[in-house]
A and B are shown apart, each in its own frame.
Chain A
């Protein structure tokens, strides 16, 4: 099996962007709560959520942030990538049934230490900004160079 990797650092371009969108389903929130253990009542208990300023369940911020890695791991740069650091701000609540669209843009490339800077912005179906952020990612390196 050939090891297919995403874009290496020299294949990235400043200004390059990629997007990912998903309509947030109840199952996404419940599975996230289950796999992380974050059973905060605000995302999972209607009666609790009704009495907060949000009036209904809202998605875990970290769930929205996790979709950033979809773009990094699947598209830009793609397979074999990792994240070095990341900073995100959750600007609006996300509700079940909202469609979140995340855009990631490469803002700088550092060939010497094999990293690239990126920014992210996420919007809902009303084009309201729900999350902003930035970080440093590590593009993949060709695996044939690795000594066994």
Chain B
């Protein structure tokens, strides 16, 4: 199989511009929560136990924070820059809890490009269906590049 990644690679550093944005929104369901907690082994009753959650201030089971944060991974890895993106660092500020049934829209924006070190920084903002800010953060990535390009 003559497989070349050139056509499948996401945006390389020369194609990335400060101010570019990309978004993705998703409704977080019980299925998402149960699958995610199963992968990481976090069986915290705040996510999985209705009786427990009913005694908390919100009264409802919450969606694991890292599952919501996973939205940034999705955008960077599949939309902008896309395939071949390598995640280097991630800062997250969890502002409001997210509940099962909430729809969260995540938006990333290019804030800084280091052409020499081949690094790009993105701001992250996540809002819920009531336009309330639930999560902010900053991502540092290595944008996709062909292997015969300068090594990082």
* A and B held together in a complex: yes
The chain A residues found within 8 Å of chain B, CB to CB, are 1, 3-4, 20, 22, 28, 31-32, 34-43, 47-48, 51-53, 58, 60-63, 65-70, 73-74, 79-90, 93, 143, 146
Q: Which residues of A contact B85 (CB under 8 A)?
A: 40, 42
Q: How distant is A71 from chain B, measured CB to nearest CB, in Å?
A: 9
What is the interface of chain A mostly: helix, strand, loop, or mixed? mixed
Residues in B with CB closer than 8 Å to A39 are 77-78
Q: Per DSSP, are chain B's interface residues mostly helix, strand or loop, or mixed? A: mixed
Chain A minimum-CB-distance residue to B28: A35
Assign chain B's interface to a size class.
Answer: 35 or more
Interface flag for B18 (CB, 8 Å) = no
B binding-site residues for A, Cβ under 8 Å: 1, 3-5, 8, 24, 26, 32, 35-36, 38-47, 51-52, 55-57, 62, 64-67, 69-74, 76-78, 82-94, 97, 147, 151-152
A66 engages B66 (CB within 8 Å): yes
| Bound CA–CA A85/B4 (angstroms) | 40
Which residue of chain B has its CB nearest to the CB of A59? B87
How far, in angstroms, from A131 to B39 measured CA to CA in the complex?
18
Q: Which chain B residue shows the least CB distance to A41? A: B83
Pairwise interchain contact A28-B39, C-beta atoms closer than 8 A:
yes
Closest chain A residue, CB of each to CB of B5: A51
> Please, which residues of chain A bring their CB within 8 A of the CB of B91?
85-88
